[in-house]
Amino acid sequence: MAPRLAFIGMGLMGQGITKNLVEKGEFEKPLILYNRTRSRAEEQSARIGHSIVSSSLSEVVSKADIIWSCIQNEEAVTEMFKSLSSFDIRGKLFVESSTIPAETADSLSKQILDAGAEFVSMPVFGEPSLAYAGNLVCVPAGPRESVARIKPYLVGVVAKAIIDLSGESPGKAALLKMIGNVLIVSTMETVAEVSVLAAKTGIGNSHIQELISNYYKVGPPIYAKKMHAGDYYKHEPMVETSKAIDLSSKVLELAASVGVPLKGYEVGIEHMVAARDYAGPKADILSIYGAVRMESNLKFQNSDEK
């Protein structure tokens, strides 16, 4: 009999992932959805169909065989797993896709394994539009048998590819995600800077967007499109600057511990801090663009540009 899946976390990433699980996954029973704010899970269930909303974590554990989570910050993740561990979770598989430090991933794994369950750390690369398109890159790590249980729901369902760390400690996947964050923030910083340079030299957004889109396939074109469209102040943030800054501090600690300077990354962090100070802690991480604009004597919002 096919395993019963539950998904915890109805943020933008969770919405994209669950949409594709329902559309492309093969489920005998409806997907179980859970979110601390129940209304978000109910709204998502209404959108995607073939799903039910669970009222509590204990109900999630009792009904599901595989419990996949993706929530916004380390504190919420640790609190959630503390609650989950208080139930009878023997034989369950927990798949954790939140962005957390390597030590936290390994600690959660031990906690879950000691309770008789299985644990896979599986951070994902890709922002919400890629989650909706089923084009994430998933990085599963943990016991091979455990990773094998989640693989049928990855490539061709929610992901275009996996970086397979089967047999590695869960912390290895979390570590790769943190290192990847350097690439992400540095890329956003570069796109923000070239976009402002294009604006101030009269080139304009449309031409720089065309250049970026023709030169790169993913990453920079997506960031450029969202920045130029003003998504960083018009829509729900894909990642809040306050949470991105918290993660960045951990990345810098990691880099310092091995003697690696990350100067370009540090500039991106400075602009995230400036964006947070201007627009508030819930400002989108892409507000890096607004910060670079202000530094260049332009308005934070690009509403007057085409």
CB 80 within 8 A of CB 137: no
Handedness of CA 123, 126, 243, 46 (dihedral sign): negative
Do 81 and 152 lie in one domain? The reply is yes
Indicate the pTM of the whole model.
0.81
| Residue 250 falls in the annotated catalytic set | no
CB 102 within 8 A of CB 39: no
Do 123 and 19 lie in one domain? The reply is yes
* CATH number of the CATH domain containing 36: 3.40.50.720
Handedness of CA 242, 73, 260, 289 (dihedral sign): negative
Other Cβ atoms closer than 10 A to 113: 16
Do 154 and 22 lie in one domain? The reply is yes
Distant-in-sequence, close-in-space partners of 301: CB < 8 Å, separation ≥ 6: 230, 233, 290
> 160: burial class by Cβ within 10 Å (0-12, 13-18, 19+)?
middle
Lookup: tokens for 9 = 């976390």
Do 72 and 209 lie in one domain? The reply is no
* Total number of domains in the chain: 2
The DSSP symbol for 155 reads B
Q: Which of 17, 4, 235, 27 minimizes the C-alpha distance to 124?
A: 17
Q: At what angle do helices 263-279 and 288-295 cross, to 10 degrees?
A: 90
Report helix, strand or coil for 216. coil
What is the tens place of the pLDDT at every residue in 246-290? 999 998 998 899 898 888 899 999 999 999 999 999 999 999 999
| Last residue in a domain, options 127, 150, 168 | 168
306 domain residue, yes or no: no
301 domain residue, yes or no: no
Do 164 and 178 lie in one domain? The reply is no
What is the tens place of the pLDDT at every residue in 45-75? 999 999 999 999 999 999 999 999 999 889 9
22 domain residue, yes or no: yes
**Active-site residue among 19, 177, 226, 250?**
177
Do 22 and 148 lie in one domain? The reply is yes
CB 233 within 8 A of CB 280: no
Average pLDDT, the chain: 94
127 domain residue, yes or no: yes
110 domain residue, yes or no: yes
300 domain residue, yes or no: no
251 domain residue, yes or no: yes
What is the tens place of the pLDDT at every residue in 91-132? 999 999 999 999 999 999 999 999 999 999 999 999 999 999
Do 140 and 240 lie in one domain? The reply is no
Query: 142 forms bridges with which residues in the sheet?
Result: 166
Where in the sequence is the domain holding 250, given as residue range(s)? Answer: 174-295
* CATH number of the CATH domain containing 185: 1.10.1040.10
Do 127 and 181 lie in one domain? The reply is no
Do 163 and 188 lie in one domain? The reply is no
| Last residue in a domain, options 118, 139, 168 | 168
303 domain residue, yes or no: no
DSSP states of 7-65 as a string? Answer: EE--SHHHHHHHHHHHHHS--SSPEEEE-SSHHHHHHHHHHH-SEEE-SSHHHHHHH-S
Do 134 and 210 lie in one domain? The reply is no
| Last residue in a domain, options 168, 201, 233 | 168
Do 111 and 160 lie in one domain? The reply is yes
Do 67 and 162 lie in one domain? The reply is yes
